[in-house]
Amino acid sequence: MPPATNVDWYKDAVFYQLHVKSFADSNGDGIGDFPGLTSRLEHLEQLGVDCIWLQPMYPSPGRDDGYDIADYCNVHPGYGTLDDFRHFLDEAHRRGLRVIIELVLNHTSDQHPWFQEARSSTSNPKRDWYVWSDTDDRYRGVRIIFLDTEMSNWAWDPVSRAYYWHRFFSHQPDLNYDNPEVREEMWRVMRFWADLGVDGFRVDAVPYLIEREGTSCENLPETHEVIRTLRARLDAHAPGRVLLAEANMWPEQVRPYFGDADEFHMAFHFPLMPRMFMAVRLEDRRPLIDIVERTPAIPESCQWGIFLRNHDELTLEMVTDLERDYMYDEYATDPKARINLGIRRRLAPLLEGDRRRIELMNSMLMSLPGSPFVYYGDEIGMGDNVFLRDRNGVRTPMQWSGGWNAGFSAADPERLWLPIISNPVFGYQAVNVEAQRRNGSSLLYWMQRLVRVRKSSRVFGRGSIEFLHPANHRVLAYTRSLGEETVLVVHNLASTAQAVELDLSSMAGAIPIEMFGGSIFPRIRAHPYAMTLGPYGFFWFRLRWL
Amino acid sequence: MPPAASPRRASLLSDDLVQHLIPVGQVDVLVGLPTLDNVSTVEPVVLAVHQAIARAFPRTRIALLNSDGGSQDGTQDVVRRASSGSADLLLASHTLRTMHRVVAPFHGLPGRRAALRTIFAAADLLQARAVVIVDPSAVDPSEEVLAALMREVLTGGLDFVGQAPGRHPREVPLVTQLVRPLLEATLGASFDDPLDQQFALSGAFVARALAASIWDDEPMRAGIDLALHADAIAGGFATAQLATRARTRVSHAARPGVRESIQQLVRALWSLLGRHESLWLDGHPAATPRAMALESAEAASPTWDTAAFERTFREGVHQLHGIWQDVLSPATVAALDAATLRQPAGLGLDDWTEIVIDFCVAWRTGRFTPDQLAGAFVPVYFGRLAEFVRDTATLDAGAARERLNRVAHAFAAARPALVTRWMAARASGEHR
């Protein structure tokens, strides 16, 4: 079991996001499961990550990748049993890995028994667990999130002959958090998993819990009150568990969800991600610095979650129209790669398989403020399949080997829940864990090393950041400082070699030690510090006053 | 987000040395050779280092750093010459890697502590996994011992490996009658010779030591080896000591006299007890260093001039009677007077133990300057020395060793009193 006393462990942690059904199949039915995942924990232990974020593993009709939950206190039968989950959790803890799970507070599946009861009769005790209306004109003006598929936030229920409220798909009715019974029931769900030993919850679709006439029905004060209550109860019942918010908004809009350190411990920083891609493509540090400097301070115990890619599209909601057009032109020339307001590609294909750029992006991910999240498969440079529906193209089975079904499953290939990536560039025979484990210069080994170097200093998880502003705009340089420790990070965002002079006079007297190889660089003086970097090259220096 | 702090500190490494260390880069082992006027012995020492490396660690990334504390006798030139490689040595063996040899120019305060600090800072910069501090004054240096020290840290998982020289039990009485039993009674364990100048350290220990206060604490200036040995024990590091042959040491450096050496040592010892008081007052004994056999040899019994010891004892008691009345209990002063009047004069074990505790407690009260106390302690030590030397004169080594065990037992038995009185002194005394 990871140490329980370290209550803010998430500030130093490297997270690894995975979906059970895509990771490893132990029983040959073509769907990943908990015994399969348990058998592959050694991979994560070797990679050096600290915490697994499990995407939804609950019973679900699976119409929204599991985010349509039909039973909150069980696991999907296709993924195994609750005992299989317990065994997985115990084994992960034994290896020093923490586990956080998904918690969808806002809505259930329309197949959930609660909704089935609620729709059965207007007098049913569960009726008020959801938001009903005789007309579809309440909460007018509230935006529709899934514009591609939904015409309204109201859906007609022919059974009970009334409309029900849904912010996402129409098969996902919103729970009514004005009903104390709903709040109590969701706390019971959290307590159930906390008692099993999970280390926290990634809370989906946070801003939409409460509806009020005349508002956007987003980020309402009453929603914060719901979160504060759940946090207080979780802290009291199971200290050291983390609450992570998914709120795809600007950082200043997300900031209230940290409250006074009494709401979420963590929240994703969505706008940072597209700007990292933009900065590399533009060969200009400005987009990245702008968004970091725009990021408000958060309470000491709180942390941002940052990422390069995840199970969704590379979202371009938090960019301007001009920036979005640029990103589409540069990263999604194939229209099939575009979905909603984003790009459904994995990291390696987005960067054209360029190892140097993949390393550069990961270097930024691991050195900027926040706790990094690595999406499964990105540690080996897995590809995607834009021909699959929705965002399934980035959710294909993990590529473990060059053998049958990439080592993912013993099933016939036709039974796999999604086809394996098989193209000559990113296919499983070229890109897989086994091959990269046998090659000391593989991306996997490099990622392993990157994680280890990041974890060698708490400055990355907890330190302040100060950008340097050299004349060469292609160079992104910053210092991270915590107490007496300072790390200098320098990135060349360009595809060509760059020379730069850094004003490090405030650090005069320090000796830079390159953190990956341990090489010593000349002592810093009051005059500009000259440096050259290869294409997409970067340095992390630990500064020592010796 | 707030701007980064810009910590400014005095440089531990000269620019010239840093320039020399840049091409060295990361190493597995840093061999540190702290010298101070060792021209007569240093050449074979350097050659032994080379042989040890060439034979035992030809693939390992190793650098040799000679950190000189201000030699005036040409020691650095000899080291440079010896390091450039003799024809015989090259024919006999060689390493696969370039072995960088750096002779650090004099920087800072002269002395062994400054030289060691430079080595530690360089090791930290080079991220050495192991550091071997080599004694430059050994007449017959052993490549086997150097290789073993290196190996036990590099591959044995140890943090501090010292030496347990195979001395006769009548040798080094300052260690056997005072330093070792007092450390064992307080910290719970000690190296056989906590003053030894040759040992190996892990990178983790070096980093910790570098951040410790021993480099600026004046009493530690002459007690740096003692401080490092004690810190390894007190810090809970994995320690061991290699049984080796006792070696003759020669140093031409201007050394302090015997009296001054004793004073420097007891000042360092008291300071150590003060630094680690939170550990030993809590009563959590540290682990004893693991014993490892390498060489065995029985040294001959030394001869001593007991008449001189007695004379120093009597004269000192007479001259310093005033101070002792403040430091010691009336009963102890009476016992001391009686001890000087006896023929032959000398201090028995019980009185000695009592007096050592009295001095420790007096230091803790802060009512006396360390110099005053250390000066007053010297003749007492000679009284004990006279008694011990005379008592063991006709004993064989086994019986003499048994006498050392009695000393250890006497100090251990006195520990509760020391703890009680130390705490009382801490509560009522001035801030130290």
Output the DSSP codes for A105-118. Answer: -SB--TTSHHHHHH
pLDDT at B107: 65
Give the model's pLDDT for residue A404: 98
B213 has pLDDT over 80: yes
Report the residue of B6, B12, B28 to disrupt the A interface, i.e. the one with the largest count of A CBs within 10 Å.
B6
Q: From CA A428, how far away is CA B369, in angstroms rounded?
A: 76
> What is the mean predicted confidence (pLDDT) over B289-306?
88
Residue B84 has pLDDT above 70, yes or no: no
- For residue range A410-429, what is the model confidence (pLDDT) as tens digits? 999 999 999 999 999 999 99
Q: How far apart are CA B328 and CA B311, in angstroms?
A: 21
Please give the mean pLDDT across all residues of chain B: 89
Q: CB within 8 A of B9, min separation 6: which ones?
A: A509, A545
Find all residues with CB under 8 Å of B138, minimum gap 6, and list them. B41, B45, B198, B247, B248, B249
Q: For residues A375 and A17, is the Cβ–Cβ distance under 8 A?
A: yes
pLDDT score recorded for residue B10: 67
pLDDT band at A149 (very low <50, low <70, confident <90, very high): confident
Residue B47 predicted with pLDDT over 50: yes
Contacts of residue B4 in chain A, CB cutoff 8 Å?
A: 463-466, 479-481, 486, 506
Check if A546 contacts B (Cβ < 8 Å). Answer: yes
Whether residue A545 and residue B4 make contact (CB cut-off 8 A), yes or no, is: no
Residue B92 has what pLDDT? Answer: 44
What the block records as the tokens of A88 is: 């997985």
Catalytic-role residue among A102, A204, A218, A384: A204
Are A508 and B3 in contact (CB < 8 Å)?
Answer: no
B9 touches chain A (CB under 8 A): yes
CA atoms of B103 and B77, how far apart (whole Å): 9
Confidence of residue A441 (pLDDT cuts 50, 70, 90): very high
pLDDT at B430 over 70: no
Mean pLDDT on B297-324 = 87
Of the pLDDT bands very low, low, confident and very high (cuts 50, 70, 90), residue B88 is very low
Q: Confidence class of residue B253 from pLDDT cuts 50, 70 and 90?
A: low
**Does the annotation count A128 as an active-site position?**
no
Please identify which of the residues A50, A64, A211, A246 carries the catalytic annotation: A246
**pLDDT at residue number A510:** 96
Q: What is the pTM of this model?
A: 0.85
Gap from B340 CA to chain A (nearest CA, Å) = 53
Tell whether B24 is within 8 A of chain A (Cβ).
yes
Average pLDDT over residues B358-386: 93
Is residue A138 pLDDT above 60, yes or no?
A: yes
- pLDDT surpassing 50 at residue B2: no
Q: For chain A, report the end-to-end CA distance as a whole number of angstroms.
A: 39
Q: Given a cut of 70, is residue B362 above it in pLDDT?
A: yes
Candidates B1, B8, B26, B119: best to mutate against A (most CBs of A within 10 A) is B1
Q: Is the pLDDT reported for residue B1 higher than 50?
A: no
Cα–Cα distances (Å) from A375 to A22, A394, B189, B192, in that order, read 12, 10, 51, 55
Mean pLDDT, range B45-70, rounded to an integer = 91
**Ranges A190-199, A374-383, B134-143: which has the least confidence:** B134-143
- As a whole-number percent, the residues of chain A with pLDDT over 90 amount to 91
Banded pLDDT at B106 (limits 50, 70, 90): low
| Cβ contact, residue pair B124, A546, below 8 Å | yes
CA pair distance B312, B125, nearest whole angstrom: 48
pLDDT at B330 over 90: no
For residue A179, pLDDT beyond 80: yes
At B428, is the pLDDT very low, low, confident or very high (cuts 50, 70, 90)?
confident
Instruction: Decide which of B318 and A523 is more confident.
Output: A523
Cβ–Cβ below 8 Å for B126 and A520: yes
Length of chain A: 546
Measured between CB atoms, which of B5, B11, B22 is closest to A520? B22
What residues in A contact B11, CB-CB < 8 Å? 509, 523, 545-546
Model pLDDT, residue B6: 46
Question: Considering only A25-39, A370-384, B342-356, which range has the smallest mean pLDDT?
Answer: B342-356
- Residues facing residue B240 across a β-bridge: B161, B290
> What CA–CA distance (Å, rounded) separates A11 from A534?
32
Residue B431: pLDDT above 60?
Answer: no
Q: Does B206 contact A at CB distance below 8 Å?
A: no
- Say what the pLDDT of residue B9 is: 60
pLDDT at A287: 94
Q: Are A500 and A475 in contact (CB under 8 A)?
A: yes
Instruction: List the single residue in A295, A508, A511 with the smallest CB-CB distance to B18.
Output: A511
Q: What is the pLDDT of residue B90?
A: 40
The one-letter code for the residue type at B206 is V
Could you report the per-residue pLDDT of B9-26, keeping only the tens digit for each? 668 899 899 999 998 989
**Cα separation of A220 and A243, whole Å?**
19
Tokens describing residue A114:
């609660």
Strand bridging mode A162-165 / A132-133? antiparallel
Confidence band for A4, pLDDT divided at 50, 70 and 90: low
Each residue of A207-265: pLDDT tens digit? 999 999 999 999 999 999 999 999 999 999 999 999 999 988 899 999 999 999 999 99
Average pLDDT over residues B33-41: 91
Interface touch A546/B13, C-beta < 8 Å:
yes
User: In this model, does residue B200 exceed pLDDT 50?
Assistant: yes
* A204 catalytic residue (yes or no): yes
pLDDT for position B249: 83
> Which residues of chain B lie closer than 8 angstroms to A464, CB-CB?
1-4
Q: DSSP letters of A338-356? A: EETTEE---HHHHTTT-HH
Question: Rounded distance, CA A543 to CA A512, Å?
Answer: 5
d(Cα B61, Cα B98) in Å, to the nearest integer?
A: 8
The chain B residue lying nearest A544, using CA atoms, is: B125
Tokens 């001189």 belong to residue:
B308
- Looking at the complex, report in whole angstroms how far the Cα of residue B402 sits from the nearest Cα belonging to chain A: 47
Q: Is B26 on the interface with A (CB under 8 A)?
A: yes
| Least reliable range by pLDDT among A124-128, A536-540, B299-303 | B299-303
Which pLDDT belongs to residue A482?
A: 97
Nearest to A464 among B1, B9, B22 (CB): B1
Position B296 confidence tier, pLDDT thresholds 50, 70, 90: confident
pLDDT score for B69: 81
What is the spatial order of strands in the sheet that A475-482 belongs to?
A464-467, A475-482, A485-492, A538-544, A511-514
pLDDT tops 80 at residue B85: no
Q: What is the mean pLDDT of chain A?
A: 95
